[in-house]
Structure 1
Amino acid sequence: MVDLTSHPFNLDDAGVEWVETMLASLSLEEKIGQLFINLNTSFEPSYLDNVLDNYHVGGMRYMGADSITVQNHIRYAQSKSKVPLLIASNPEMGGAGSINDGTLVTTHLGAGSHPDASIAHDLGYVGGRETAALGCNWAFAPIVDIHYNWRNTVIGTRSFGNTPEVVIERAKAYFDGLSKTGSAAAMKHFPGDGVDERDQHVVTTYNTLDYDAWNSTYGRVYRELIDHGVQSIMVGHIGAPGLSRHFRPGIADSEIMPATLAPELLQDLLRGELGFNGLILTDASAMIGMTQAMKRKDLVPAAIAAGCDMFLFFRNADEDFQYMLDGYRSGVITEQRLHDALRRILGLKASIGLHTIPRDQLVPGPEALEVIGSDEHIAIAAAVADKNVTLVKDTQNNLPLSPETHKRIRLYGISGQADFTGTDPSGFVDIARQELESAGFEVHVFRDAVQRKADGEEGVYFHTVMADEANEQYAEKYDAAIIFANVTGFAQEATVRIHWSTPMAAEIPWYVTELPTIFVSLAQPNHLIDVPMVKTVIHSYAPSREAIAATVAKITGASEFTGTFNDNVWCDTFGTRL
């Protein structure tokens, strides 16, 4: 059972009294509602009225929008809720991703790819400061997965690195920066992603380390971050057969559940051996990694019964609320388990002061939004980019390139599909063109067959584009080729790789034998599996103007490369180092 006076809640007598008084005031339906975190899919007040009046949710996360819209939305929600709400955000890259106008500082990978751990601190600080200005008080970060398997792309850019040491150091620094803004943290994704190559958005994945190996790696990460003060843990839809068998000898393969539904992982390991006293929440409950395990009516209450305290997102609000209520009434969720979860939920709210802050002050005024995208935060992003941009290889000694020696640049932009945020992944190409032109280059942007057809050209096919592009005049028209790749999507497929516009597409680096060619990744670290022929490869970690500007400065030799990389970049494949 929870101890609200202990780490990480550390409540005084008044805080404990508020929790108990509030708990006693709740009806059964209000208690059930506190277990849910809603994903707000509308900014209309009538929508929030329905969610709060009928489902009594304990927390919310909103869909992306501009900061003014989001802040007004949160203000209205807090004014209408009987119990102060946990308002969650996803500040994994800074303010970007939580709001449309937020600052993109870098990715977790970027924050782990330089000797300076303060980058991770600044990432947490900017993200926390910008989301706190909106009225958010709970960050679904830091990510403490270890990127062991280079084929795993769901955390390819979202992990600090491939060793427990770098993950521990940078996650602590991120947490410290975030904590300065008053937000609670939810580290993720227990029991740890990065071993399986697949993505739990589309399939149940597995951490297949045995008990001893897990304890010396992921277990070490969780122990140290728990001791460091992290208040909550998001559990992934990730099974751990070695751990389940350790706590449940003889368990059948068919009985091994994702951690969100596995009491041996949540209660025996996380609560028991790791001693975590804070709040446990599920990852998004519509992910197939969870839904493939059992029927929805069973898994909703089973997650709370197994040891989760909050359930992330309704699939259908009427159905899920009823499933949870039925699970309590049938005894799947015991009275003791329900009240333990509620005390942790209310305790987290009290630990960040929601019980003492006047209701009309839970969300700051519009003037607070001035920090979002501010000059100060942009300067931090620029300084981070200057440190981070990494030269992976330059085996042909193509660098530096200058307008004096390589004036005419053929520029290629490689995009992935948009992820579930709907963000356009192709806007970086124009930024790259602008930054190269500002540096003095003459830039010629390649357009593939799909783009040319969209502009109304007729009779364009991939082989006609190749004929136009690949001929002996190529080296007469251009002095160098630069490819910028922003392949960012996840949660769309089990892996993320470069998808060329067509077979034998003209943008595939056939031209490496003709001109100095530079490949710049703005996202995933594993692109050498698809472009091993390129002799000069740079990682920039973000599709922001600051990262692209820093990259161009380093390409021209105006700034030195200081970023680092780990061996995942070689994709465990012959030829990528050549």
Structure 2
Amino acid sequence: MRKIIYTLALLLAVHILSAQYNQYLFNRDAPFNYIPTQWADSLLQSMTPDERIGQLFMVATYATNDQQNNKTQIETLIKKYHIGGLIFMQGSQERQVQLINHYQSFSKTPLLVGMDLETGLGFRMKNTVSFPKNMTLGAITDDNLIYKMAREIGRQCRRIGVHVNFAPVLDINNNRANPIIGTRSFGEDRENVVAKGKLFMEGLQDEHILAVGKHFPGHGDTKVDSHHTLPSLYFKLDRLDSLELYPFKMLCNYGIGGIMTAHLQVPEIDKEHPTSLSYQAITEILRYDIGFNGLVFTDALNMGGVANTNKPGDVDLLALLAGNDVLLFSQNVPRAIKKIKEAIQSGKITQTEIDEHVRKILLTKQWVGLNNWTPIPNSNLREDLHSTNNDILQEKLAKASITLIKNQHDFLPLKALDKKRIAAVAIDASIDNPFLKRLSHYTDVDVFAIPRGSSQIIYDKALEKLKHYNTVIVSKHSTNYNIKKKFGATNASIRFLQKLDQKTNTIFSFFGSPYGLSNYNLSKCTAVLVGYEDTNYAQEAMAQAIFGGSAITGKLPLGINQLYPACWGIDTEKVRLGYSLPETEGFIADSLKQIDSIVYDAIKKGALPGAQILLAKDGNIVLNKSYGYHTYKKKQAVKSSDLYDLASLTKVSATLPILMKHYDKDLLTLSTNLSELLPFFENTDKASITLEDLLTHESGLPSWIPLYRILIDTASYDDKLISYRYRAPYTIQIDRKAWINRNFKYKNGLFNAKGGIPVGENLYLSTPLRDMLLDTIKKVTLKPNYKKRYRYSDLGFILTGEYLKASYDFEETLATFYAKLGAKTTGMNMWKKYTLDRFVPTAQENFLRKKLLRGYVHDPNAALLGGVAGHAGLFSNAEDLAKIWQMYLHKGSYGGETYINPNTMELFSKQIHPEISRRGIGFDKPDPDTTKMTAFSKVLPLSTFGHTGFTGTMVWADPENQIIGIILANRVYPNDWNNKMGKMDIRTKIQEAVYRSIQSTEKQITPLLIQPEYINPIAE
């Protein structure tokens, strides 16, 4: 009677306290309650009493090769005691599949297989995927990502024969000293725990994997580990109801299939028994009050929380009497079965009650598909488990979790890179970690590492070096989740952060639990970020977030202190190129591999010795690959950091953006005359040529002028200068069918080896040639009716380049422009910054510089202008060039700064005179008439704009698909007349491979012959 009164009082109290949640109760049942019951009912009726009791047990087993004794024991338990299921603990995926197939083959009733896979298979199984910890997931605001992750875990469970995942953890972690929950919890905010738990549950159960919420009634606010002893919760019912119980009530309402009961001492619920053995906790609260009608699992019965005070077998019976359906990790099944039989005989439990438990177990087996069990295939197992989808999810989850908790003056994402001297210091890490590597892709960053166990002297030396920087990125690695070890916040790192110069803008990135940040004085930091885990994915994501390569949207899953409470986080926008997998942006990876075949075939056939290929989509670089070697000698492989001579890409990547900025500032218009740009042309037939004429190649000017010819001393040789057949003295080949007189000499005093205007390695012009160049152009004859004709010409951009050079230091202006973008390898005369081995050679030039050209511009006119010209002279790697073109694609903005007005960008990139040519203003474009041969494949949208370069380069930007493509090659090696790249349609084939890989069905594409932008006029 006393027990009945106590129970009624308890239920009344919980009901009153739960009134506010009543609208959620009993809305959805466990999923197996919605299926036909014939199979389960029929099987139950055919079972003997012993077989029914056996179904209650889920026994621990191992998939390691050294567990033969365990295998024999399991075989006995299946055959003799009819156990209902197995929980696999450790092992390999192949071995586990073998064992499951083996055990299922002779089990009379199919076995229910469970695992603890809170973060995926890697939680228990070697060489498999581990997704982020729940604390990391708690920071993510994109619900869809967590659902997708859980569904992928569910898919992998099914693939290896697992039916039950003992996840999600629904404990609210509001005790930072908790030794067992910690990062396994979604955090301390109850609504966030519910939201994430629900998504995790739905992902699993949509794959027909039973989700089991744990650890009921809530293990988050404990200080001891229930694996070893019994934790206690001394809270009143109102606190328990509003906090610990809340996620369980909500998930039961949402239809979770299973609940695991925890080994906890909660006197307000049951003064005598742990909650896992408590009738009041399981039957009265979980089943009656909350209304849960799914499957109830004990936590492992070998854990110290219950095993220390109860004998094997006894504890199983107590758990069953409390209301548990499944007895997990029983230590003595035969004795437990004996105890249960005795309890039936004595009336402590009825056969009907046993049958109710068993019926739910059988319904669960039917729901997970065991009524139609077939052996699990072992072939292609690793491939199936390690799909690209895993990497896509890992990448997205890491980016979405990064949390910015402090951002003074909106310092992040980093802006004005040209004004920043940046250093990055990784504490307790190596110099080659992914974080430091990725930071260096965004701009010049000097990187340092302080390995674990370094002395104070090492830290002091680092502090001294950092005084020369105005921005320092400090990252803390090798963290842990132990409060006694300060969560990895070492004393050395705490002092280091404290001692950094106050004048330095410090960005602190902590790869660990937010609790660890409470050990640091963050007041001196300009920005503070949390990465939660020290994985490669987290490090990549953090680096991108700092520079704005990805947006920051994470929120703290738990509070650090009053300044940084739970759910706090500062959002930032994506403002720069990021990095992701091709599949993340919708490419079909296997189809994209066609690019490899195209490039390797081109190398094999001598079209080019090597190349860089870059592809970006939706603001993320998905491919940045290097192929082949610098030369056919195969001594130096091409690296992504190597610089190529961009040739005519200079026109649209150097001259044009500065002209567009002038246009925006009203310093010129498209109708501005050449005589206004360069007064030298006043009172000439070229005075009225407009800027628009020059940029659209409608000026009537010839393709180019061989300026070097003017420099030759005509008295130095007999007969003519060039012959179109090989014969003495025409023995120096300068084109496919052209040879120059070997006796020629340049005018006396023009060149020297000591100094002046650099033309080549150890070769200088003694006198500037600008006036001579302009005078030569002034004298050329214009094409008649040039206003209605298109004729590609270098001279238009040479002239606009000279206008810019006359306005200010063009080379320095470009350097500042590229530095702001973070395009550190892009610029003119980059041999001043990098050693020559960083440059991919162009041609062996025999008539001017008489050397293999490396680091010095290939175009002879640009060389004679000191390497700074409007038509050629730019060097870059593909990655830095992409930053310019992403700025174009983003309508003139990049890195949080607007460089070009969006309207200007639209005007210059569209076809401007359809009746005359395909071209935009400066930019080349696909031709609407697909019968005409251009460098653009007809698969490209007409909105695409780009350009090609004589050395073997190409870039295009596709606004419709948000794609950037870059091809950098030195097809002119070893000489200019190697035109195999054009004949083999390399550039168009690469474009077609790109667009095929984002199409569901491939178009039939006829390859188009690529015409070079200009033909070397030396042979004309």
TM bracket, shorter-chain basis: 0.7 to 0.9
Mapping of 1:524-543 within 5 angstroms? Answer: 524-533=513-522, 535=525, 536-543=527-534
- Output the CA distance in 2 between the equivalents of 1:225 and 1:429: 44
- Deviation of 1:306 after TM superposition, in Å, equals 1.9
Deviation digits for residues 480-537 of structure 1 (CA, Å, limit 9, x no counterpart): 3523345455xxx786733567xx5x44443432255544344423112322447343
1:470 to 460, 466, 474: 460
Contact 2:428 2:477 in 1 (8 A): yes
Tell me the amino acid that sits aligned with residue 239 of structure 1: Q
- Deviation of 1:323 after TM superposition, in Å, equals 3.5
- Deviation of 1:572 after TM superposition, in Å, equals 8.8
Contact 1:413 1:429 in 2 (8 A): no
- Deviation of 1:263 after TM superposition, in Å, equals 1.4
Scaled by the length of structure 2, the TM-score of the pair is 0.47
Asked if 1:568 is matched to 2:559, the reply is yes
- Output the CA distance in 2 between the equivalents of 1:216 and 1:311: 29
Tell me the amino acid that sits aligned with residue 278 of structure 1: G
- Deviation of 1:474 after TM superposition, in Å, equals 4.4
Asked if 1:305 is matched to 2:317, the reply is no
The corresponding residue for 1:423 is: none
SS state at 1:88 partner: strand
Tell me the amino acid that sits aligned with residue 292 of structure 2: F
Mapping of 1:231-380 within 5 angstroms? Answer: 231-244=257-270, 251=271, 255=272, 257-296=273-312, 298-314=314-330, 317=331, 320-331=332-343, 334-336=349-351, 337-355=353-371, 357-360=372-375, 363-367=376-380, 369-380=382-393
- Output the CA distance in 2 between the equivalents of 1:141 and 1:123: 13
The corresponding residue for 1:17 is: 41
Mapping of 1:141-540 within 5 angstroms? Answer: 141-152=167-178, 154-244=180-270, 251=271, 255=272, 257-296=273-312, 298-314=314-330, 317=331, 320-331=332-343, 334-336=349-351, 337-355=353-371, 357-360=372-375, 363-367=376-380, 369-394=382-407, 399-400=412-413, 405-413=420-428, 430-439=433-442, 441-449=445-453, 465-471=455-461, 473-475=464-466, 480=472, 482-488=474-480, 497-498=486-487, 506-514=492-500, 517-533=506-522, 535=525, 536-540=527-531
Deviation digits for residues 444-471 of structure 1 (CA, Å, limit 9, x no counterpart): 332234xxxxxxxxxxxx7xx2134325
Distance 1:272 1:481, change over 3 A: same
SS state at 2:159 partner: helix
Which protein has the larger Cα radius of gyration, Structure 1 or Structure 2?
2
Deviation digits for residues 238-271 of structure 1 (CA, Å, limit 9, x no counterpart): 2322233xxxxxx5xxx2x321111110111112
- Output the CA distance in 2 between the equivalents of 1:61 and 1:285: 12
Contact 1:389 1:562 in 2 (8 A): yes
- Output the CA distance in 1 between the equivalents of 2:309 and 2:506: 47
SS state at 1:157 partner: helix
Tell me the amino acid that sits aligned with residue 378 of structure 1: D
SS state at 1:558 partner: coil
- Deviation of 1:232 after TM superposition, in Å, equals 1.1
Asked if 1:42 is matched to 2:57, the reply is no
Contact 1:71 1:134 in 2 (8 A): yes
The corresponding residue for 2:545 is: 554
- Deviation of 1:39 after TM superposition, in Å, equals 3.6
Distance 1:33 1:175, change over 3 A: closer
Distance 1:543 1:134, change over 3 A: farther
Contact 2:487 2:515 in 1 (8 A): no
- Deviation of 1:552 after TM superposition, in Å, equals 0.7
- Deviation of 1:177 after TM superposition, in Å, equals 1.4
- Output the CA distance in 2 between the equivalents of 1:564 and 1:103: 25
- Deviation of 1:437 after TM superposition, in Å, equals 4.9
Contact 1:487 1:496 in 2 (8 A): no
- Output the CA distance in 1 between the equivalents of 2:98 and 2:512: 32
SS state at 1:470 partner: helix
Deviation digits for residues 139-176 of structure 1 (CA, Å, limit 9, x no counterpart): 11112122333443533322223233222222222222
Higher relative contact order (CA 8 A, sep 6+): 1
SS state at 2:428 partner: strand
Tell me the amino acid that sits aligned with residue 358 of structure 1: W
Distance 1:63 1:329, change over 3 A: closer
Q: % of aligned pairs identical? A: 22
Mapping of 1:62-101 within 5 angstroms? Answer: 62-101=88-127
Unmatched 5+ residue regions in structure 2? 1-28, 570-1020
User: How many correspondences in the alignment?
Assistant: 520
Unmatched 5+ residue regions in structure 1? 1-5, 245-250, 415-426, 450-461
The corresponding residue for 1:459 is: none
- Output the CA distance in 2 between the equivalents of 1:12 and 1:129: 24
- Deviation of 1:20 after TM superposition, in Å, equals 1.0
Task: Provide the aligned C-alpha RMSD in A.
Answer: 3.5
Contact 1:435 1:549 in 2 (8 A): yes
Contact 1:160 1:167 in 2 (8 A): yes
- Output the CA distance in 1 between the equivalents of 2:474 and 2:342: 63
Tell me the amino acid that sits aligned with residue 225 of structure 2: D
1:53 to 36, 57, 75: 75
- Output the CA distance in 2 between the equivalents of 1:173 and 1:500: 32
- Output the CA distance in 1 between the equivalents of 2:113 and 2:398: 30
Distance 1:134 1:438, change over 3 A: farther
- Output the CA distance in 2 between the equivalents of 1:53 and 1:566: 45
- Deviation of 1:47 after TM superposition, in Å, equals 4.5
For structure 1, which segment, 523-532 or 389-398, has the greater mean C-alpha deviation from structure 2 after superposition? 389-398
Contact 1:150 1:568 in 2 (8 A): no
Contact 2:510 2:517 in 1 (8 A): no
- Output the CA distance in 1 between the equivalents of 2:538 and 2:483: 27
- Output the CA distance in 2 between the equivalents of 1:328 and 1:572: 55
For structure 1, which segment, 405-414 or 129-138, has the greater mean C-alpha deviation from structure 2 after superposition? 405-414
Contact 1:210 1:243 in 2 (8 A): no
Scaled by the length of structure 1, the TM-score of the pair is 0.79
SS state at 1:281 partner: strand
SS state at 1:154 partner: coil
